[in-house]
Amino acid sequence: MVSTLPSPNPERRLAALARILKLLRETEDLDRLVSSLLDNLKEELHYSLLWFGLYERVQHQVVSQGFLAPKPHRSLKSTFALAPGDLMEQVVIQQRPLIINDLRIEPRIAAWNEMAQQLAIQGALIFPVRHRDICYGLLIMGSEHWGQGITNSDRTFISTICSALADVLHKREQTLQTEQRKDPGVALASLIDQLQTSDDRDTQLIKIAQSIAGFVRPDRVRVFWLEPDKFEFWERLILRTKQARAPKCYTIDAPGLVMPVSEIRGVYQLLSKQQPLVVGEAQSANTAALPDRFLQLLKAEALIVVPILEQGSLLGFISVESDLAQVWSDDSRSYCKTVANLAGLMMPTVSAAEVQRQSEQEMQLLTGVVRSIQSESDWHQTLEMCGENLCQTLDAQQFLVLMHDAEHDGYQVMFQKRTLPRKRVSSAWPALDEVDWQMLEDSPTAIAINDLANDLKLLAWRENFEALDLQSVLACNVTPGNVPEGIILVASPHPRQWSTAAGHLLQQVAQQISLILRQWQLQQQTNQQEDLYSSIQWGLRTLQQTFHLEQLEESACQYLSDVLDAPLVALVNWQVGDHHAKVGRVISRHVDFGADQDSVIPLSSDAIINWAQQTDGPLPVTWEDFPPDTRAWITGPPNSKFLLVALKTADKHVPNGVWIVADRGDRRWSNHQLTLVSVLARQLAWSRRHLDIVDLLLERQESLEALNWYKHQRLNEAHRQLKVNLSRLSDPITQGKGLTAQRQLQLVRQLNTLTNGIENVVTQETWELRKHQQTTPLISLLNRLMDRVNPLIQSQHLWAKVHNESNVIIAGDLEKIEFVLYELMVAACQRSPEHGRLDIWCRPLERTHMELAITDDGDIPRQLLKDLKHGRPDDILVPSLLDIPPGLHFSICNTLIKQVGGEFSLQKLEDGRIMSRVVLTVAHKGK
């Protein structure tokens, strides 16, 4: 809000500020100081009303200290109590200036409305007088104008003066406190001297109560003691400071006021955390945690509650009470806390005789545990004895031993000692939260839960505790400092406070029991290893001695069903490259489980097959996880559990089967069972793959042998008939005369040469290829090649050209080389577009080799080029483009060229052309 007042002269304003600050420094009387200050402000700021009041923190009120007004008014001398929502309280708490548009009608400062109406005051400003975070008073300035604003200059001027005034009030308060303050050190030293003169607890508590009453001066001081078994606070002592009567003491059999912990859980929580409780009119940081029942029982408007602790265990508390609302001083709160700590140190819960008796009992218990561990071979009987003695010593009703189950990320109940009511809960307990896990790992002693309804520790086991009707638990890690693999629980059906001694005793017993648990773990691991070893040996022996796929799959499914005792084992299989699968084998021992062997299962969409292939190892699922399409071919009851594992051999091999194991909803697959399934599945996969490959190769061998035999017989017959006809043509009777006879003789010689070549194949290459080392000029080789492929070039209307500038001699098996070059030329012509271009490039490579490259404008699949470069897939069962023409022909050409000492490659050039490249051997000169 912008002020309508003119801006003051800076030099005059500075002089006024210096004058007022000097006044604040030199004036000692507070009344004269306030009067002179208001006069100077009136002269400088021209406000109709100037009022200053001191803030009293204890009573939470503002007391008038001085004012200047148009006319006197009795309310200007009043004391203003601050209430929630009041603008004056708002300024005190927030410690920021506040502008009031119309003081006459503002409801949030109603105490000033009538006075403002009579004094004709409308707009007003409220400034806090504060030192750091402490408010010492309020300065109110009123004007006859509505919504009176303030300039930046005036704001700075007033703030500076208020700050200087606050410094003066702060120093004044410190001086008064120094004069009135009691020395807590002296009072505490006096109390210690008094406590040393008596060993009686009640007498000591009386001296403590009297010391607090003398230092704090409350209306009452009471001491409450905690009864651990009944889990309630009972009044042990009360001292009324305004009465001449002596303090009154009570006993546990005839207590004063009794407060069950269940009714004041918030108080118990804070006291157990060693936090004092302070309640006053404007000082109630912990009031929200206090139940109304607690305040009703104590009947106090203000109080200080401090815990009495012994080694972190809550013994009771001291209640310092006042019938009137007030704010407790820091010294009072600190003294009460110190005295309560002193009480916990000087008054142990048990006497020396009781300590000795407890030590003897604990020693007997530990000795019995150690003797039992050494003599008893039955660990169950040893734990029975430990549980019985612990429950009797600690007055507990439940004793449980839990072992961490890493396979299922939880805990298993290894042993349970019960008393009435006899209840059983699930042997499988859930995993602990990270906070509880770390707490048990780090804690050197047992963890106490006095009231499960009021404690969040071990929250993951809350349902298990409720099923056992337990309300308080003492839990400990058998190996402190290590991960909690073994946990011992001692519990009671009602809330109680576990003593520190009980925690130490349980921890000592737990360390002895850890030996039993370790032996049990080792024995379990040994049994599992033996079971796994024998199972693997049986499985490997059976799989290795089976040579028929159907028998192999039947034996494996039957064995897996026997080992796991599962009602269903099924094998879904397919051939690599298929789009559908079928159930090949089913072992079902119950009518609720089954698999339809007639169903056609789509590989691309079925859940079981896809889940299994995407998982490395066995995958546990439930019946509810399956979509309707999957449930159409496999059946199981609700909540039943399934184990899926793909039959994989290697990462680069494609799976061709899924093993399915099913059981009821309560089945839990152990780690060694999962390992067994993985090993057997892997061995079955390799055995199935081996038999599949053998069958595939045998099938191919039989087919190729039959084809080779048939073509060889046809070639042999053609060779025989050709020789018969050539002998007839060579007979002089059949020969012609003149030019005709010469041509006939030339044709006969050519056919004889061809016949001799065929005879070499028929007689020497029946079942395997042989090398025939020959030489020929490159030009002759190219001429024969072009003559042979020329009809195909003409039919495609191709433009063909040979690029050759040398005439080297080619060495090698020329028949096979010519066949390879012819096959490459035919393939180039067939893939070339009509009127395309075909080039043959000849280029020497060093002295011993030359390159013959055929380029064309055709196209070829990228996958075929990739397979030619890298060879067939690692998985021989996966279909490849090298198994069918033209890939098959290219693969054969590559094999033949390598056998004769050459190289072959097929690649796509950057300009899009296809190049068939062959490297041939050049004959040495003189050969």
CATH number at residue 77: 3.30.450.40
| pLDDT over threshold 60, residue 415 | yes
What is the arithmetic mean of pLDDT over 290-297?
A: 78
Please report whether residue 876 resides in a domain.
yes
| pLDDT over threshold 80, residue 446 | yes
Contacts of 664 (CB under 8 A, 6+ apart): 567, 637, 639, 640, 641
CB burial of 856-874 (b: ≥16 within 10 Å; e: otherwise) equals bbbebeeebbebbeeeebe
Q: Confidence band (pLDDT; 50, 70, 90) for 51?
A: very high
Q: What is the pLDDT of residues 708-765, one digit of tens each?
A: 665 655 566 666 767 766 766 666 555 555 556 666 677 777 677 767 666 666 666 6
Q: Which of 197-201, 242-246, 720-724 has the highest mean pLDDT?
A: 197-201
Same domain? For 452 and 313 the reply is: no
Same domain? For 338 and 226 the reply is: yes
What is the arithmetic mean of pLDDT over 566-573?
A: 92
Q: What is the pLDDT of residues 247-259, one digit of tens each?
A: 888 888 888 888 8
**Lowest-confidence range among 45-54, 57-66, 634-643, 799-808?**
57-66
What mean pLDDT, rounded, does the chain reach? 82
Same domain? For 463 and 448 the reply is: yes
Q: Which helix (H) or strand (E) holds 865?
A: helix 862-870
What is the arithmetic mean of pLDDT over 346-357?
A: 52
Amino acid at 129: V
DSSP structure class, residue 252: S
- Quickly tell me which residue has 């490959």 as its tokens: 693
Same domain? For 282 and 133 the reply is: no
Same domain? For 169 and 199 the reply is: no
Q: Name 634's bridge partners.
A: 595
pLDDT of amino acid 2: 40
Q: Which of 203-212, 337-346, 806-815, 823-832 has the highest mean pLDDT?
A: 823-832
Same domain? For 261 and 295 the reply is: yes
Same domain? For 363 and 507 the reply is: yes
Task: Write out the two tokens for 717.
Answer: 């017959």
What is the rounded CA–CA span in Å between residue 185 and residue 203? 22
Amino acid at 627: P
What is the arithmetic mean of pLDDT over 701-706?
A: 62
Please report whether residue 764 resides in a domain.
no
Picking from 149, 180, 211, the residue at the C-terminal end of a domain is 180
pLDDT of amino acid 76: 86
- Listed as own residue / partner, the contacts of 531-540 with beta carbons closer than 8 Å and 24 or more positions apart are 531/672, 532/672, 532/675, 532/676, 532/679, 535/563, 535/676, 535/680, 536/676, 536/679, 536/680, 539/679, 539/680, 539/683, 540/683
Picking from 153, 180, 207, the residue at the C-terminal end of a domain is 180
pLDDT of amino acid 570: 94
Please report whether residue 411 resides in a domain.
yes
Residues counted in the chain:
927
Same domain? For 381 and 515 the reply is: yes
What is the arithmetic mean of pLDDT over 322-346?
A: 85
What is the arithmetic mean of pLDDT over 354-380?
A: 54
Same domain? For 337 and 430 the reply is: no
Q: Confidence band (pLDDT; 50, 70, 90) for 601?
A: very high
Same domain? For 239 and 310 the reply is: yes
Chain centre to alpha carbon of residue 536: 35
What is the rounded CA–CA span in Å between residue 173 and residue 360? 60
Q: What is the pLDDT of residues 137-158, one digit of tens each?
A: 999 999 998 887 788 888 889 8
Given its phi and psi angles, is residue 801 left (phi above 0), alpha (psi -120 to 50 degrees) or beta? beta
Q: Which helix (H) or strand (E) holds 438?
A: helix 434-442
Contact yes or no for 712/766 (Cβ under 8 A): yes
Q: Which helix (H) or strand (E) holds 49?
A: strand 49-56
- Listed as own residue / partner, the contacts of 172-180 with beta carbons closer than 8 Å and 24 or more positions apart are 172/30, 173/136
pLDDT of amino acid 353: 45
Task: Write out the two tokens for 517.
Answer: 């648990």
Q: Which domain holds residue 138?
A: 10-180
Please report whether residue 728 resides in a domain.
no
CATH code, 917: 3.30.565.10
Contact yes or no for 388/488 (Cβ under 8 A): no
- Please compute Rg for the chain using Cα positions: 52
What is the arithmetic mean of pLDDT over 460-465?
A: 88
pLDDT of amino acid 756: 67
What is the arithmetic mean of pLDDT over 17-31?
A: 84
Nearest one of 808, 809, 790 to 800, comparing CA atoms = 790
Same domain? For 482 and 550 the reply is: no
Please report whether residue 723 resides in a domain.
no
What is the rounded CA–CA span in Å between residue 477 and residue 510? 7
pLDDT of amino acid 230: 84
What is the rounded CA–CA span in Å between residue 585 and residue 588? 10
Same domain? For 79 and 101 the reply is: yes
- Strand arrangement of the beta sheet that strand 486-492 belongs to: 428-430, 410-418, 398-405, 486-492, 472-477, 447-449
Three-state secondary structure call for residue 354: helix
Contact yes or no for 603/574 (Cβ under 8 A): yes
What is the arithmetic mean of pLDDT over 159-183?
A: 79
Residue 36 to residues 43, 143, 160, 172, 222, Cα–Cα distance (Å)? 11, 20, 16, 18, 50
| pLDDT over threshold 70, residue 532 | no
Beta-strand pair 124-131/98-100: antiparallel
This prediction has a pTM of 0.44
What is the rounded CA–CA span in Å between residue 874 and residue 439? 52
Please report whether residue 135 resides in a domain.
yes
Task: Write out the two tokens for 562.
Answer: 């026997």
pLDDT of amino acid 740: 64
Name which residue leads in pLDDT, 353 or 891.
891
pLDDT of amino acid 241: 81
Q: Tell me how far apart the terminal alpha carbons of the chain are, to the nearest angstrom.
A: 116
Count of domains observed in the chain: 5
Contacts of 228 (CB under 8 A, 6+ apart): 496, 497, 498, 499
Q: Confidence band (pLDDT; 50, 70, 90) for 4?
A: very low
Please report whether residue 725 resides in a domain.
no
What is the rounded CA–CA span in Å between residue 157 and residue 151? 10
Task: Write out the two tokens for 875.
Answer: 């998985």
| pLDDT over threshold 90, residue 455 | no
Q: What is the pLDDT of residues 826-842, one digit of tens each?
A: 999 999 999 999 999 99
pLDDT of amino acid 162: 92
Please report whether residue 2 resides in a domain.
no
Q: Which helix (H) or strand (E) holds 168?
A: helix 152-180
**Lowest-confidence range among 349-358, 494-503, 760-769, 862-871?**
349-358
Cis-peptide into 886, omega within 30 deg: yes
**Lowest-confidence range among 86-100, 737-751, 774-788, 907-921?**
737-751
Around 568, how many Cα atoms within 13 Å sit in the side-chain half-sphere? 26
Picking from 674, 694, 714, the residue at the C-terminal end of a domain is 694
Name which residue leads in pLDDT, 612 or 736.
612
Q: Confidence band (pLDDT; 50, 70, 90) for 190?
A: confident
